[in-house]
Amino acid sequence: KQEVTQIPAALSVPEGENLVLNCSFTDSAIYNLQWFRQDPGKGLTSLLLIQSSQREQTSGRLNASLDKSSGRSTLYIAASQPGDSATYLCAVRPYSGTYKYIFGTGTRLKVLA
Amino acid sequence: NAGVTQTPKFQVLKTGQSMTLQCAQDMNHNSMYWYRQDPGMGLRLIYYSASEGTTDKGEVPNGYNVSRLNKREFSLRLESAAPSQTSVYFCASRDQGEGGAFFGQGTRLTVV
């Protein structure tokens, strides 16, 4: 059974710091992995989608990598800002049950001004 | 673009009452999903619909029913609400192939 883990559960950093959020999954048989941002009381906003054949995706200050063989993805945020404070979720879409997404429980990020 | 729209945004129910959560997407996506989000448990799949006319159970389907009314709309019904169904409910949609998922803003449901 596919399981997705995000460590740490919470993180506080000073403004301007570069940081890495981690996502690990137990079964490498996935179609893709998606990173989301969730602000308090809000829905999920898609940040980056990495297909199984890709190694990384970039959008602005965000860079996501995928290593299927080790079951890991990282979300790199450069020059963090207070506006980056949110919960970051990763989700994998496994080969089995191809229409489903399996979510991690998220990393709650706080960037201090 | 509206994307995925959920109604209502907030709802308080008494135990035993019924209600339907509505979801509509305007992206012509084939697949639609209902998730619930609870503290410490992440998002769990309730039901999904791979295409118009089909629905399947997810991880936590008990106490819920769904209807894929047409390609745009996917509703979630609570027949007899229980306090354990207090949660935030999210609807999502995805195109076929390798596309990613898009989520609505959520419905915050409290059952007292």
pLDDT digits (tens, 9 = 90+) for A58-95: 999 999 999 999 999 999 999 999 999 999 999 999 88
Residue B29 near residue B97, CB atoms below 8 Å: no
Instruction: Give tens-digit pLDDT for B48-61.
Output: 999 888 999 999 99
Q: Write down the pLDDT at residue A98.
A: 59
Contacts of A36 in chain B (CB under 8 A): 103
Contacts of B43 in chain A (CB under 8 A): 89, 91, 101, 103
The separation between the first and the last C-alpha atoms of chain A, rounded to the nearest angstrom, is: 41
Return the DSSP state at B98: T
Contacts of B56 in chain A (CB under 8 A): 99
Distance between CA atoms of B91 and B65, rounded to whole angstroms? 14
Residue B66 near residue B55, CB atoms below 8 Å: yes
User: Where does the pLDDT of residue A96 fall: very low under 50, low under 70, confident under 90, or very high at 90 and above?
Assistant: confident
pLDDT at B1 over 80: no
User: Where does the pLDDT of residue B98 fall: very low under 50, low under 70, confident under 90, or very high at 90 and above?
Assistant: confident
Among chain B residues, CA nearest to A4: B42
Contacts of B106 in chain A (CB under 8 A): 42-43
Distance between CA atoms of B10 and B33, rounded to whole angstroms? 19
Residue A31 near residue A95, CB atoms below 8 Å: yes
Distance between CA atoms of B93 and A101, rounded to whole angstroms? 11
Nearest to A5 by CA among A25, A30, A20, A28: A25
pLDDT at B109 over 70: yes
What percent of chain A stands above pLDDT 70? 97
Q: Write down the pLDDT at residue A97.
A: 64
| Close Cβ partners of A100 (under 8 Å, ≥ 6 residues apart) | A93, A94, B33, B45, B48, B58
From the candidates A7, A44, A89, which should be mutated to test the interface with B, based on the most B CB atoms within 10 A?
A44
Q: Write down the pLDDT at residue B61.
A: 96
Closest chain A C-alpha to B62 CA, distance in angstroms:
18
Instruction: Give tens-digit pLDDT for B3-26.
Output: 999 999 999 999 999 999 999 999
Residue B61 near residue B112, CB atoms below 8 Å: no
**Torsion, CA B24, CA B44, CA A33, CA A70, rounded to 10:** -170
pLDDT at B2 over 80: no
Distance between CA atoms of B13 and B64, rounded to whole angstroms? 15
* Closest CB to A100 among B58, B104, B108: B58
- Enumerate chain B positions whose Cβ falls within 8 A of a Cβ in A: 31, 33, 35, 40-43, 45, 48, 50, 56, 58, 90, 92, 94, 98-106, 108
Distance between CA atoms of B91 and B22, rounded to whole angstroms? 9
Instruction: Work out the mean pLDDT of chain A and round it to a whole number.
Output: 94
Distance between CA atoms of A92 and A49, rounded to whole angstroms? 10
Distance between CA atoms of B33 and A93, rounded to whole angstroms? 13
Among chain B residues, CA nearest to A105: B42
Distance between CA atoms of A35 and A75, rounded to whole angstroms? 8
Beta strands in B16-106 (DSSP E): 19-25, 31-38, 42-49, 56-57, 64-68, 74-78, 87-94, 101-103
Please give the average per-residue pLDDT across A7-29, as a whole number: 95
Contacts of A106 in chain B (CB under 8 A): 42
B2: which 2 tokens?
A: 């509206």
Cβ distance of B45 and A32 shorter than 8 Å: no
Q: Write down the pLDDT at residue B100.
A: 87
Residue B63 near residue B82, CB atoms below 8 Å: yes
